[in-house]
Amino acid sequence: MMDLHAKSMTELIAGLDSGEFTSVELTEALLSRIAAHNDKLNAFVTVTGDEAMAAAEAADKARAAGKGGALNGLPIVHKDIFCTRGVKTSCGSKILDNFISPYDATVVEKLANAGAVVLGKANMDEFAMGSSNETSYYGAVFNPWDLECTPGGSSGGSAAAVAARLVPAATGTDTGGSIRQPAALTGTVGIKPTYGRVSRYGMIAFASSLDQAGVITRTAEDAARVLGVMAGFDERDSTSVDHPVPDYVAGIKESIEGLKVGIVRQHFDEGLDPDCGDRVRDAIAVIESLGAEAVEVDMPNIDYSVPTYYVVAPAECSSNLSRFDGVRFGHRAENAEDLMDMYCRSRGEGFGDEVKRRIMTGTYVLSAGYYDAYYLKAQQVRHLIADDFKKAFADVDVTAPTPAFRIGEKVDDPITMYLNDIYTIGANLAGLPGMSVPCGFVNGLPVGLHLVGHHFEEQTLLRFAHQYQQATDWHAACPEDFQ
């Protein structure tokens, strides 16, 4: 039983089905690992041990009766941006530190109905604003590969928990790369599906036209299993798209021979770390050996993705976060002189520096006299970027310009931090699915291969990733201190 943490989700399903171990035994083993290692990583904000054990017992009873869903008895952790009934849902912010959600997000509900056992809530950048998981009210998350390095953000807690083998799968959200970038920096698999593929109901909003829920796992096959449960139309979400969800697990077994892979010329410029570029080129060679054809594609407007994103996202953040005013829920300033004083002090005390910075930027670009010059212009450029993507079948590029950087290295330089998402933002602006897969190491730190596909072609990305993982073993590597 000592090696249960080392098994992938697919391996755990086989073990549970064969009776090799029970969900209770598995849950106990992982809760013990969380207790032993979380102080070093700070990956969990909340551990729901009692609830997890009760869910594991129910899963074992369901299995014994020949019942249970696709993920029956399998432990997961939710990014603390998903509302979870009866559990604190903080979004990594002081302003929601006392908020206990009265309902479940659709993602939480679907995974629970499939039998998943929730071990807790994962740490994250405050309101998903950040690329390093250093803006959380609960402190930074540390990378299992080097505890002096960041795991990336904003889903850094989810990625660190999976990389350290504390849990086989974790939910995340991706507004500009917040699943794929931490997956790349921790040697895990992260997939952001097409915008509208997974319900946003109960997922606390940052930028409504960009946010999308996804999953972080160790293998593409595991990601296919979890995404298959999460995906689907939800009438409670006005941005949800009623589009058929294929059998992702069955689809990954198909060959990639004959498929074309577009290599974005602009992503191999002077901003790319040379060693990272070499690892990506090695991965492209493997993909070509499997029968796929790599061709260079030109995306002339992709360089505008960062400035476009940092107009659109703060503008939507400014609007979405106006609801956190200290009146109905969350932090409220004490001894306020009047209503305006309560508003100002509650928000001033409750929000961190990065959130305040983005609210102020967003309010400015939406203000009279600047709306056309900034927000409207950014939306026009966004369409140009989307048109560039339409000309390519699929892209292979890097998820981050360098491997994991050190804690504190960029936190005081917002512009440099924003540029860390330069390779991932385009997919969000165009609403396309994107995925990061481990493809090697640079100076002992993981590097990710980034895949982008057509709308609703998550199956193609998972298929590429699975076939690549069948030919390589980068995804099997585990940080030495967490084996």
How confident is the model over 274-304, as pLDDT tens digits?
899 999 999 999 999 999 988 888 889 998 9
Domain-located, residue 37 = yes
- Whether 154 sits among the annotated catalytic residues: the reply is yes
The pLDDT value given to residue 74: 98
| Domain of residue 150, residue span | 4-259+436-449+456-482
The pLDDT value given to residue 163: 98
Tally of structural domains, the chain? 1
Question: Which pTM was predicted?
Answer: 0.95
Domain-located, residue 395 = no
N- to C-terminal Cα separation, the chain: 14
The pLDDT value given to residue 368: 87
Domain-located, residue 112 = yes
Catalytic residue among 8, 101, 131, 154: 154
Residue 318, pLDDT > 80, answer yes
Question: Which CATH number belongs to the domain containing residue 9 in this structure?
Answer: 3.90.1300.10
Which one, of 426, 434, 435, lies nearest residue 387 by Cα?
426
- Whether 94 sits among the annotated catalytic residues: the reply is no
Catalytic residue among 8, 178, 240, 346: 178
Residue 425, pLDDT > 90, answer yes
Q: Decide if 111 contacts 71 (C-beta within 8 A).
A: yes
Residue 399, pLDDT > 50, answer no
Q: How many CA atoms lie within 13 A of 255 on its CB side?
A: 8
Domain-located, residue 344 = no
Domain-located, residue 206 = yes
- Please tell me whether residue 342 adopts helix, strand or coil conformation: helix
The pLDDT value given to residue 398: 42
Q: pLDDT, tens digit, for every residue of 439-462?
A: 999 999 999 999 999 999 999 999
Domain-located, residue 87 = yes
Contacts of 26 (CB under 8 A, 6+ apart): 4, 12, 16, 56, 73, 74, 75
Catalytic residue among 7, 23, 79, 132: 79
Average pLDDT over residues 262-277: 84
Domain-located, residue 35 = yes
Contacts of 230 (CB under 8 A, 6+ apart): 107, 110, 111, 171, 198, 213, 214, 215
Domain-located, residue 400 = no
- Whether 305 sits among the annotated catalytic residues: the reply is no
